[in-house]
Amino acid sequence: MSTSRNEVTSQSQLIRLKVTSEDAELRLDQLLTARIADHTRSQLQRLIKEGRAYVGSKQGRASSVVRKGEMVTLEIPPPCPSPLEPEAVPLNIVYNDADVVVVEKPAGMVGHPATAHRQGTLVNALLHHITDLSGIGGTLRPGIVHRLDRGTSGLLIVAKHDQAHAELARQFKDREVEKTYIALVWGIVQAGRRIDLPIGRDPVQRKKISTRSRRAREAITRVVKAEHLRGVSLLRVMIATGRTHQIRVHLSAIGHPVVADPNYGGKRRHPPPHLRIVQRLERPFLHAAKLVFTHPRDGRRVTVQSELPPDLLTFVEELRAQHHKSKAKR
């Protein structure tokens, strides 16, 4: 099949396909899905439904069967402007190219605008900082591929167009993305520990996740490094799965909740005197520190890392100083 593209106007685009013997007898939506790599099948079906696809001079339907020698024409409209407003919210971009951007989400920032959060979200910030979006789902907006809890800081991958979004989402689904977090937890946890506990929506407290869920799904967390600091442990953990609140629920389930986590036992009203400094923490001590993924365009492995933000690093430095001081007295 030969493919040609030319501009209809300064914005929309025509794609012309000539049906060969190999393509004959396919449905129109199957043909377009096979030949147009930068659009998903559902998006192409929507364009067909909007009357933007023709077989010869006749408007096509998704179920239309194409014949050898026919010309298929598809109009690709320009992405619609996003209904969301760009905002000059400070945002640290750690990786950026034509397909993907990786940012450091600050703690307290939500991902998408919602009824309670229409401004100051990650999407609002991205619309201001990124000027070469190709659009997601026909709209000029960034495609956030995964999520972080509002109180968690760290790395997030964002796609600039549908093809990148679909490939990165597949990598997350197939567990091909390496995700490493830094967490400060109560008690002593040894490196090498593996937590394999299915989790899901708590049957009583529906806003929480727990290991008691009737519809629990597989969740695996591994402790790859541990630093012990007099009653707390600074951990590096990797997750094979990416369930909601997974790290927080898993560490709480084994009796070592994330420090300052109000929902899963991490808030201590009466900590030991040397640990009272953690009462100043205003969010769970959890940071997405490293991501390794395959680039959706050229297949190379990309590694991005993020240091602890100042609000967490300050506590670590104070705890280390206290720990070393206590060791020197022995």
Q: How far apart are CA 118 and CA 110, in angstroms?
A: 10
Instruction: Please give the helix or strand (H or E) that residue 15 lies within, else none.
Output: strand 13-18
Residue 164 · residue 143 · CB < 8 Å: yes
Residue 297 CB-half CA count within 13 A: 8
Instruction: Please give the helix or strand (H or E) that residue 169 lies within, else none.
Output: helix 162-173
Residue 228 CB-half CA count within 13 A: 9
CA dihedral 122, 124, 129, 134 (to 10 degrees): 100
Q: How far apart are CA 252 and CA 213, in angstroms?
A: 15
Six-digit token pair at 210?
A: 């727990």
Q: How far apart are CA 235 and CA 222, in angstroms?
A: 10
Q: How far apart are CA 53 and CA 62, in angstroms?
A: 9
Annotation marks residue 149 as catalytic? yes
CA dihedral 24, 42, 139, 92 (to 10 degrees): -110
Number of residues that this document lists for the chain: 330
Catalytic residue among 23, 149, 162, 261: 149
CA angle, residues 18, 75, 145, in degrees to nearest 5: 105
Q: How many CB atoms lie within 10 A of CB 45?
A: 18
DSSP code, position 77: P
Active site amino acids: 149
